[in-house]
Amino acid sequence: MNNATANGLPPGRRAIDIVNAGLSKRYRRERRFRLYGISAILASLLFLSFLFGSIISKGYTAFQQTFIRLDIFFDPAILSQESLTTANYPGVVKQSLRQMFPEVTTRQDKRMLYGMVSNDAAFQVRKLVLDSPEMIGQTLPIWVAADDDIDMLMKGHFDLDVPESERRINDVQLAWVDRLQQENRVEKRFNRTFFTAGDSREPEQAGILGAVMGSFYTLLVTLLLSFPIGIASAVYLEEFAPKNRWTDLIEVNINNLAAVPSIVFGLLGLAVFLNFFGLPRSAPLVGGLVLTLMTLPTIIIASRASLQSVPPSIREAALGIGASKMQMVTHHVLPLALPGILTGTIIGMARALGESAPLLMIGMVAFIVDIPGGLTDSATVLPVQIFLWADSPERAFVERTSAATIVLLAFLIVMNATAVILRKKFERRW
Amino acid sequence: MDAAANFEELTVGIENTQTASTGPAKAKSGRILFDRDSRDTVGEPFVEDARMTCRDVNVYYGDKQAIKDVSLDIGRNEVIAMIGPSGCGKSTFLRCLNRMNDTIDTCRVTGQITLDGIDVYGKDIDVVPLRAQVGMVFQKPNPFPKSIYDNVAYGPRIHGLAQNRAELDDIVETSLRKAGLWEEVKDRMDQPGTGLSGGQQQRLCIARTIAVSPEVILMDEPCSALDPIATAIIEDLIDELKQQYSIAIVTHSMQQASRVSQRTAYFHLGDLIEVGDTAQIFTTPRHQLTQDYITGRFG
């Protein structure tokens, strides 16, 4: 009996030969497996860059806006000292336009001329006059926002090959724009309005601040409710609750809740918070409550996982020197689990920030011009604002939709980066 | 006859039995009083003036019985070693003494365990003061991820042992001195305890345990994760500590048991097989199972 048969191998064959024979196949398989992984990552990167590229290329122009310089004559005849707040400011703007284009005489042409600048110009003039009434009687160059059609023209989003009758800007207006450009009266500037104004039907006056504040108040309510409730539930379930049928049932249901479509939470909010408790419609308070319901399972699951990952040796160490269970939890387990809990919370918050469906159900989809100043003011949120603008027919809202998406993505990236930084900073090793 | 000499004799004995390969029962048949099937405790489990007494202790994990009718005393200022093969219940038994098993849901303990005459499983007994009196050192060094100072000061803080910072500093220094760690860490008290070496960490854990002035210290294989030098330091420390505390130590190392303990208890599959003076257990075991274990036949 030779050695080979003693090992159970066919006579004359050594184990190492068999191993070597199969090696190349093994390595081939490994290379193929790696290739799958790399191609999966490349595909997802491709889609992601396509998404970002499309949003950014469409949206970046919204951060600039076309302004027209008008020589505004602060006519004392119109602006009498007594009635500065209610004076005919649009008249002042129109007068200046007529002076710049004296050849315009017909009523229809005048309307077209006045339409070149945003009707925000009148409010701009009013503000100037109210701030410094000594301007009255002078003629000053003032930069006013152009109408959104002119803005689109200047940004090259305007198709001039279309027959004149189907265009929003006719040849007469084009000639005026050319003249203004020759006189250096047209300029693209940073679009401050976009960050400081609420929603508007006029794209050049529309901004995201209202939606950002709405999101802020909504998330504030969500955070203040879901963070403590989530941690308390997770700590109780993980550290104190007896393991029995009831806690199993609760656990299963929490996991189920995490998978419930978000619109269902909206329906629930509508039925409970609005119809039963009579809370105000469209309010960040209700939005926050609904998003709390939606975020809680995420936070509870993340917190429980984080609590479970605290090594039992730390618990035993604390109990072994006579710490009560609560001291063990608050002094040792919770601080060690906190980075994970915070990460889970931030990710839950980021999800809540990007959520629109449940908020549609409780009326946060309304057209709201004012910037909300509190929890019960009518408000909308960023994703819903994007939804509303995407629905608007004006060409200028296309770039604003993308710009608002960029802002939303920026917030999400900041939040997720915070989660990563927090985890890295407070992560402890033992 | 001193323990060291006995140990010499014992090691010679092991060699003899191994070379002879005829089995100890034949070689030392005159001394073996109980055969392998006997599960009654041999020797004297009780002492006068006991600190802790255990009577007919049974421990169940669910349906499985881990400890069967164990009666054992832990005397004052003595080190009692618990030895036995893996899974014999010695750690379980140790954890019953300060009710650490309470944290396991399925664990059930019957029988009576007393500390200074008071039933520790009594209805109105609070585990918090109990664990302050019966401290525990674990197998794996488990300092809190806090500073060295906070590690030691944690116990006194939660129990309110110090009135002010100076007293707390005093307790911390005394405990670290007793644990033989003071000289090594006095200049870096604010550094994390987890940054120390394994042996230092274990001494830190011992300091943390004695900082709450316990009466009994339970040690669950305190040296199993340490190198021989760190082990030697801790064994010396245990010898010092027995002046003041009663110590129960679970160990897998029979050499360690013979070096540090005065009495030794041998557990086998949940039964307490033999208890006696350490020297006697290791030189003239009276139960066949004890004999098998200490001569290296299993475990």
Poorest-pLDDT segment among A168-182, B33-47, B215-229: B33-47
Closest C-alpha to B127, from A243, A238, A312, A321 = A321
Q: Is residue A219 part of a domain?
A: yes
Mean pLDDT across B210-237: 89
Q: Is residue A354 part of a domain?
A: yes
Q: Is residue A202 part of a domain?
A: no
Stronger pLDDT, B293 or A8, i.e. the higher one: B293
Which run of H or E residues covers position A324?
none
Mean pLDDT across B50-62: 91
Going by pLDDT thresholds of 50, 70 and 90, the confidence category of residue A249 is very high
What are the pLDDT digits (tens) for A324-374? 999 999 999 999 999 899 999 999 999 999 999 999 999 998 888 999 998
Residue with tokens 């009718």, as numbered in its chain? B69
Structure tokens at B230: 């760190």
Same domain, A56 and A70: no
Domain finish residue from A146, A175, A196: A196
Question: What distance in Å separates the CA atoms of residue B138 and residue B129, rounded to the nearest whole number?
Answer: 19
Q: Is residue A204 part of a domain?
A: no
Going by pLDDT thresholds of 50, 70 and 90, the confidence category of residue B30 is low
Assess whether pLDDT exceeds 50 at residue B111: yes
Assess whether pLDDT exceeds 90 at residue A4: no
Domain finish residue from A165, A196, A227: A196
Poorest-pLDDT segment among A332-341, A410-419, B4-13, B78-87: B4-13
Residue of B nearest to A243 (CA): B105
CB contact under 8 A, B158 and A317: no
* Dihedral angle over CA of A355, A357, A358, A364, nearest 10: 90
Same domain, A372 and A389: yes
Mean pLDDT across B239-267: 91
Same domain, A358 and A254: yes
A314, A320, A428 ranked by CB distance to B136: nearest:
A320
Closest C-alpha to A128, from A117, A136, A119 = A136
CB contact under 8 A, A322 and B128: yes
- B57 by Cβ neighbours in 10 Å (0-12 / 13-18 / 19+) ranks as buried
| Tally of domains within chain A | 3
Same domain, A38 and A85: no
Same domain, A224 and A337: yes
What are the pLDDT digits (tens) for A271-283? 999 999 999 999 9
Assess whether pLDDT exceeds 90 at residue B124: no
* Dihedral angle over CA of B167, B172, B176, B181, nearest 10: -130
Which run of H or E residues covers position A273?
none
Going by pLDDT thresholds of 50, 70 and 90, the confidence category of residue A429 is low
Going by pLDDT thresholds of 50, 70 and 90, the confidence category of residue A87 is confident
Closest C-alpha to A418, from A348, A347, A324, A366 = A347
Which run of H or E residues covers position A406?
helix A396-426
State the nearest Cα–Cα gap between B138 and chain A, in angstroms: 8
Same domain, A16 and A71: no
Structure tokens at A282: 């469209």
Going by pLDDT thresholds of 50, 70 and 90, the confidence category of residue B299 is low
Domain finish residue from A22, A42, A60: A60
Q: Is residue A14 part of a domain?
A: yes
Q: Is residue A286 part of a domain?
A: yes
Same domain, A186 and A225: no
Assess whether pLDDT exceeds 60 at residue B49: yes
Same domain, A270 and A147: no
Residue with tokens 């057209």, as numbered in its chain? A367
Residue with tokens 């009692």, as numbered in its chain? B80
> What are the two backbone dihedrals, phi and then psi, of residue A186, each rounded to the nearest 5 degrees?
-120, 135
Q: Which residues pair with B83 in a beta bridge?
A: B266
Assess whether pLDDT exceeds 70 at residue B8: no
Collapsing DSSP states into helix, strand and coil, what is residue A185? coil
Q: Is the dihedral of CA B125, B95, B65, B257 positive or negative?
A: negative
Residue B194 sits at the chain A interface (C-beta within 8 Å): yes
Domain around A8: 3-60
The rounded mean pLDDT for chain B is 84
Half-sphere exposure (Cβ direction) of A428: Cα atoms closer than 13 Å? 22
| Identity of residue A299 | I
Which of B106, B146, B154 is the mutation pick for testing A, counting most A CBs within 10 A?
B154
Mean pLDDT across A292-302: 94
Rama region for B115: left / alpha / beta (φ>0; ψ in -120 to 50; rest): beta
DSSP-derived letter for residue A279 is: P
Q: What is the model's pLDDT at position B15?
A: 40
Mean pLDDT across A199-226: 93
Residues from A contacting B (CB-CB < 8 Å) are: 242-243, 311, 313-324, 327, 331-332, 336, 428-430
CB contact under 8 A, A313 and B194: no
Instruction: Decide if the complex's ipTM is over 0.85.
Output: no
Same domain, A224 and A114: no
Stronger pLDDT, B185 or B13, i.e. the higher one: B185
Q: Is the dihedral of CA B173, B174, B179, B181 positive or negative?
A: positive
Cβ atoms of residues A365 and A196 within 8 Å? no
Cβ atoms of residues B104 and B61 within 8 Å? yes
Residue B179 sits at the chain A interface (C-beta within 8 Å): no
What are the pLDDT digits (tens) for A149-167? 889 988 888 888 888 888 8
Structural domains of chain B ordered from first start: 3-12+41-294 (3.40.50.300)
Which of B97, B100, B128 is the mutation pick for testing A, counting most A CBs within 10 A?
B128
CATH code, A337: 1.10.3720.10
Going by pLDDT thresholds of 50, 70 and 90, the confidence category of residue B28 is very low
Q: Is residue A88 part of a domain?
A: yes
Same domain, A346 and A217: yes
Same domain, A384 and A237: yes
Q: For chain B, what percent of residues have pLDDT higher than 70?
A: 89
Q: What is the model's pLDDT at position A196?
A: 92
Same domain, A163 and A129: yes
